[in-house]
Amino acid sequence: DARVTQTPRHKVTEMGQEVTMRCQPILGHNTVFWYRQTMMQGLELLAYFRNRAPLDDSGMPKDRFSAEMPDATLATLKIQPSEPRDSAVYFCASGLGQAFGYTFGSGTRLTVV
């Protein structure tokens, strides 16, 4: 089965450190999303790309978060500097558009201490 691959699966870091999360979307998918999930807030959309171009990053704190797609096989989400409130599970999802649904990765569980 084709799958969305996220690395690392778990990350523990100290406050103030830079964190980079990576996502390999399913080959051929032209839309990539980054989500954050916490117990309190549930799933929140952070950013999404279509054909590698950022379409919406309004859900992302711009001062510390950045999302990029250097090529069609890699999406990155970077937090610099990280803060304890960033602790969450970060999901990447990819798809071919609204009508087809999206496939989620298994997530990166980030803990900032």
Partner 1 sequence: KNQVEQSPQSLIILEGKNCTLQCNYTVSPFSNLRWYKQDTGRGPVSLTIMTFSENTKSNGRYTATLDADTKQSSLHITASQLSDSASYICVVSGIRQTGANNLFFGTGTRLTVIP
Q: Would you count residue 53 as binding partner 1 (CB under 8 A)?
A: no
Out of 34, 49, 65, 91, name the contact with partner 1 by CB under 8 A.
Answer: 91
What minimum distance in Å lies between the beta carbon of 69 and partner 1? 17
Q: What's the rounded Cα separation, in Å, for the pair 80 and 100?
A: 34
Q: Would you count residue 25 as binding partner 1 (CB under 8 A)?
A: no
In total, the chain counts a number of residues equal to 113
Q: What's the rounded Cα separation, in Å, for the pair 25 and 32?
A: 7
Q: Would you count residue 93 as binding partner 1 (CB under 8 A)?
A: yes
Judged by beta carbon, residue 12 or residue 43, the one nearer partner 1 is 43
Q: What's the rounded Cα separation, in Å, for the pair 83 and 14?
A: 8
